[in-house]
Chains A and B, each alone.
Chain A
Amino acid sequence: MVTMKKKKDRDAEIPSAGMSDIVFLLLLFFLVSTTIDVDTGIGMTLPEYIPIEEQVFVPLSKERLAALNINENGDVLLDGNVIAIPQVRETLIPRIESKIELPKNKKLVVSIKTARKTNYNLYIQTLDQIKAAYAEVRTAYSQNHFNRKLYELNDEQNKELRAKIPIIISIAEPERIK
């Protein structure tokens, strides 16, 4: 009698021990290639483009306007007087604060004008000062009225804050090149 050799029972499983290794490899790839750095900068909204012929001249009272002019020599002039850049913030703060309770059409307008040869860094430094002044006034306002930090405000309070202290920065129309 012949004894038939029985076939061995084979394991029909795919080995999954190495799976985690493969996934680790993928994970490492994405870890290395990810850039989580956030873009930071000064946000602005440019005014709408209106052709020169259709532009309407809106008179602004001297009281409302803070006119900053940065000329090509690097001098910063606020309403015609030379001012050092770090002083812009301190000078603007009382002017913004004095207009918190005034109606919408009486708020402060900050206008920046530059010459073609003005250095870009100076422009950013000045803009930074203006933004910092507004941020300071807003922080103080939210601390006094809501007793909260600026980033803890809810939507309604934020809306009120924006209505009370709007940031109006006007970029002056560049002069025509002769």
Chain B
Amino acid sequence: MTFEKKRSNSKQEIPTASMPDIIFMLLLFFMVATTLREVDVYVKFKLPEAVAIEKIENKRLISYIWVGQSGRIQLNDNIVQIEDIQDIMYKKRVELPNVIVSLRVDKGSDMGIINDIQQALRKADARRINYSAMLKL
């Protein structure tokens, strides 16, 4: 009498055929989540810290204004003069009606320059702003 072990005939392999599909899915997620347009910042700045801060929901709506330690102003890609802000922001606002202006200002700056920028933004009617700040731990 022979004993024969019961064994299933099915293959012992994990099917890997759909692995590329899964990875494609991951890839797509990262492609969608990436905002590739990185701006070179020409000014040196250190953000202030605050507690009651909020996230900006939509990154695509943001225009950045940097103000560096030396008081230089950069708007998106270029160093600009304070007088130019109004025109540039007005054009931007026409293109993108609900633009948010993120002010990334060095914490040692004077309020004079901020007031000037704010006046320019008000004249350009780009009134949603965000004072960029880090979370104070």
Residues of A participating in the B interface, judged by any CB pair closer than 8 Å = 16, 19-20, 23-24, 26-27, 30-31, 33-36, 38-49, 70, 114-121, 123-125, 127-129, 131-132, 134-135, 171, 174
**Residues on B close to A: CB < 8 A?**
16, 19-20, 23-24, 26-27, 30-31, 33-36, 38, 48, 50-56, 59, 62, 102-103, 105-112, 114-115, 118-119, 121-123, 125, 127-135
Do B54 and A41 have beta carbons less than 8 Å apart? yes
26 contacts between A and B (CB under 8 A): A23-B27, A39-B59, A40-B54, A40-B134, A40-B135, A41-B102, A41-B132, A42-B53, A42-B131, A45-B127, A45-B129, A46-B129, A115-B111, A116-B111, A116-B115, A118-B110, A119-B111, A120-B111, A124-B48, A124-B107, A127-B131, A128-B52, A131-B50, A132-B51, A132-B52, A174-B119
C-alpha gap A121/B111 in the complex (Å): 9
Option from A19, A30, A41, A129 in Cβ contact (under 8 Å) with B130: A41
Choose from B23, B59, B125 the contact partner of A20 (Cβ within 8 Å). Answer: B23
Across the interface, A46 reaches (CB within 8 A) one of B38, B53, B108, B122, namely B122
Q: How many whole Å from A101's CB to the nearest CB in chain B?
A: 24
Asked if A116 contacts B110 (CB within 8 A), the reply is: yes
Main secondary structure of the interface of A (DSSP, over half): mixed
Cβ A34 vs Cβ B30 within 8 A: yes
Question: Which A residues lie within 8 Å of B56 (CB)?
Answer: 38-41, 43
Bound state CA distance, A41 and B56, in angstroms? 8
**Chain B residues positioned under 8 Å from A23 (CB to CB):** 20, 23-24, 27
Q: Which 9 A-B pairs have the closest CB atoms?
A: A116-B112, A131-B52, A30-B30, A49-B122, A128-B50, A121-B107, A41-B132, A118-B111, A132-B52
What is the distance, in angstroms, from B114's C-beta to the closest C-beta of chain A? 6
- Interface pair A117/B30, CB less than 8 Å apart: no
When chains A and B are docked, how far (Å) is the Cα of A30 from the Cα of B24?
12
* Partner of B52 from A38, A135, A174 at Cβ < 8 Å: A135
**Smallest CB separation, A17 vs chain B (Å):** 9
A132 neighbours in B (Cβ, 8 Å): 51-52
A145, chain B: closest CB distance, angstroms = 21
